[in-house]
Amino acid sequence: MTTYHSVEVEGLEVFYRKAGNPDKPVIVLLHGFPSASHMFRELIPVLEKDYYVIAPDYPGFGKTSSPDREAFQYTFDHITEVMESFIDTLMLTKYALYVFDYGAPIGFRIAMHRPERVTAIISQNGNIYREGLGGKWAAREEYWNNPTPEKRESYHTAFAPDTIKNQYVQGTEDNRVSPDGYTLDIAYMSRAGNDEKQSDLIFDYQSNVRLYPQFQKYLQEYQPPLLAVWGENDVSFIPAGAEAFKQDLPEAEIHLLDTGHFALETHALEIGELMLNFLKNNGI
């Protein structure tokens, strides 16, 4: 059974879901944009019998504290710092990481900082290769290189209800995606001041792309077991990003599924079963 908790971390109330037996191997689930830990609501029951599952919300997302920009720097480095403190607060010393979307640069920072703790990585549309960047990223790089207030304002469309819904349904079969997930994300993203906090993260995403070579070096050096399970119709992080893991991890397990960016909305059971087989085959 999933239970719901909050814990104080660096002056913030970090919300998280947990399930399973604490004596079992640990999996930390790291969500993406514009979502929160609710995106794992159908995956957690598949895993909880065999694993201790922890799924936090980041600062500014979901039910975790969302401090003002004047009091909190919304960067991927800072969110990673909070997540590392969260992991320490829960006294988790060994864990597999499930990384999706924003969870990839956060999770790979954690793995680089603490390689001895990471037992495996499951990347679900969690990109760390330039080959995996879809067409929209060229315009974002132009914005990063030539930032203007007008360009920053233009990216507020990322928080519009239609844009959020499209992230969920694009690349999926008709009538397969429940409205629950994107409706909740629309509500979270519409909170006062959230557009500017999220705009800070869109601008800071360039720091993640700059770190791609270091993330890849981590893989080359430590060779963690890695499962890439990808919605192959994702236009943000395209399948080449999944296949690219083979460059650094020849033994990486790659699966492409006929769905979009939020693959758990349509394939939670399939992804869960792939994870269970992968982890058990690697002695985890």
| Catalytic sites, residue numbers | 261
- Yes or no: say if 47 and 117 are a contact pair by the CB < 8 Å rule: no
To 10 degrees, what angle do helices 194-222 and 179-189 make? 120
- Yes or no: say if 207 and 233 are a contact pair by the CB < 8 Å rule: no
Helices (H), 190-263: 194-222, 240-243, 245-248
| Two tokens, residue 24 | 């079992």
Helices (H), 115-193: 136-145, 149-154, 161-169, 179-189
Q: Tell me the backbone φ, ψ of residue 92, rounded to 5 degrees.
A: -90, 120
Cis check for the bond before 179: say yes or no (omega within 30 of 0): no
| Two tokens, residue 45 | 């029951």
> Distance of CA 242 to CAs 46, 226, 252, Å?
23, 11, 10
